[in-house]
Amino acid sequence: MSRQKRALALIAMAIGAAMLRPAVAQNGIEAFYRGKTIRLLIGANVGGGYDAYARLVGRHIGKYIPGRPNIVPSNMSGAGGNTLLNYVYAVAPRDGTVLAAASPGALLDPLIGDKTNLKHDPLQLSYIGSATGEVFTCMVRTDAAKSFEDVFSKEVIIGSSGGTTHDMPRALMNVLGVKFKLISGYRGTADVMLAVDRGEVQGICGQGYANILWQRPDWFGLGSPVRVLAQESIAGNSELNKQGVPRTLDFAKTAEQRQILEIVYAQGLFTRPFVMAPDVLQERVEAIRAAFMEALADPELLADAQKQSLTVIPMSGVDLDQMIRKIYATPPDVIEKVRKAILDQ
């Protein structure tokens, strides 16, 4: 055989092998997941927004995963979502059989939060995607404050279950100087909202607007006992913007104050993130990523979401991974200022 013919034969073999590899990988993934169960761990209590989105995805993603494994959800709340991430990072199997619905705040805690008892490295996790973004809000009882300006001179008691409901009001206290009194220790946002109803606390901050609409529709409309005091968001919600609800960013007095708040609010772009353990085989990660995006475009899932007043704004696993890495690449001096802004003082 001539040198040219041998070269052409080698090229043909290489092309054939390249075409065969995806099929072989797909067959391998299907064989792995067939008959298996994927545990869908939810880093929050039953009944809240994190739980609702996780179970929404869990009901539909299985049919898009090769081999159609069973999806079994269970809740693992605690430490503002860090209990879940500690488990996923250090304990969970690294074979693609554990999918976690995480807290965006917990993903940033190793960078800007209290590092006590943290055992996870977000830069090592396998990112599957985010089910939606969110505009966070600060809401208070109507008898507590009439406007955001009021809380610069009048103490308002705010309840917290950790995560964004701690970091965002704490940032407002430390950066802007608002007079919140933060009461922590509630197990979930549903418990904080119940405490607002009972008068134990006067409001909740760092809670998504769409999530509150879903959980507590009775808080809106004529005769509502609660008002949206401000938006903890970079762009704000179009509906709230039309209503004239201010953004807390507009109360920043310096460029540095604004920069600090913008970093705290960045997690609003990926408020329902899903992750897997480090070192899961890349082809399995890619399969779950693809299934995640297909599920979130499924008309049945979208109809399911609409019935629950859940907004779906998908972010791919690749985009989520890049965003986390970009945030973690923020200069250390800026991060230190953000960290001090959200810590208890």
Q: Per-block average pLDDT, block size 10, for the chain (345 residues)?
A: 56 53 73 98 91 97 98 94 97 98 94 90 98 96 97 98 92 98 92 96 94 88 92 94 97 96 93 97 98 98 94 96 95 94 86
Among the candidates 229, 252, 267, a domain finishes at 267
- Residue 230's domain comprises 136-267
Looking at the structure, do residues 125 and 185 belong to the same domain, yes or no? Answer: no
Q: What confidence score (pLDDT) does residue 3 get?
A: 55
Looking at the structure, do residues 309 and 190 belong to the same domain, yes or no? Answer: no
Looking at the structure, do residues 114 and 202 belong to the same domain, yes or no? Answer: no
Q: What confidence score (pLDDT) does residue 213 get?
A: 87
Question: Strand, coil or helix: what is 315?
Answer: strand
Q: What confidence score (pLDDT) does residue 162 get?
A: 86
- Whole-model pTM? 0.79
- What DSSP string describes 157-208? EEE--STHHHHHHHHIIIII---EEEE---SSHHHHHHHHHHTSSSEEEEEE
Looking at the structure, do residues 261 and 275 belong to the same domain, yes or no? Answer: no
Q: What confidence score (pLDDT) does residue 181 get?
A: 98
- Structural domain includes residue 59: yes
Q: Where are the alpha helices (DSSP H) in the chain?
A: 3-33, 49-60, 82-90, 104-112, 164-171, 189-198, 209-215, 238-242, 255-265, 282-296, 299-307, 317-328, 332-342
- How many residues does this entry show for the chain? 345
User: CATH no. for residue 290?
Assistant: 3.40.190.150
Looking at the structure, do residues 119 and 154 belong to the same domain, yes or no? Answer: no
Among the candidates 267, 290, 319, a domain finishes at 267
Among the candidates 216, 250, 267, a domain finishes at 267
- Structural domain includes residue 1: no
Q: What confidence score (pLDDT) does residue 198 get?
A: 96
DSSP letter, residue 263: H
State the total domains in the chain. Answer: 2
Among 88, 85, 78, smallest CA distance to 118 is for 85
Looking at the structure, do residues 212 and 159 belong to the same domain, yes or no? Answer: yes
User: Taking the CA of residue 91 as centre, how many other CA atoms within 13 Å lie in the half-sphere pointing to its CB?
Assistant: 8
Q: What confidence score (pLDDT) does residue 344 get?
A: 84
Looking at the structure, do residues 115 and 221 belong to the same domain, yes or no? Answer: no
Q: What confidence score (pLDDT) does residue 188 get?
A: 86
Looking at the structure, do residues 38 and 120 belong to the same domain, yes or no? Answer: yes
Looking at the structure, do residues 125 and 220 belong to the same domain, yes or no? Answer: no
Looking at the structure, do residues 262 and 292 belong to the same domain, yes or no? Answer: no
